[in-house]
Amino acid sequence: MVEVKADHVMDACGLYCPEPVMLLHNKVREMISGEVLQVLATDPSTQRDIPKFCTFLGHELIAQDTDDERFFYYIRKGE
């Protein structure tokens, strides 16, 4: 498991596309540039959608990891 200190945590477990990315978009808007968000999700499509979200909107995907049930993403908000 990746060790990254997150300023915020967003739990999207049990939600399916497009809900995790919609919640992510709203959460990132509330954050300050440079803050780190940990996203927890169960939808496998987040493996594709969250990296694309970060690339498209200029946020840094610091790390991503998984266990038997969930996907973990660490995102640093861009400018």
13: annotated active-site residue:
no
Q: Which residue has the tokens 């970060």?
A: 54
Residue type, 7: D
13, 17, 22, 57: which one is catalytic?
17
CA–CA distances in Å: residue 34 to residues 15, 27, 69: 26, 14, 29
Cite the active site residues. 17
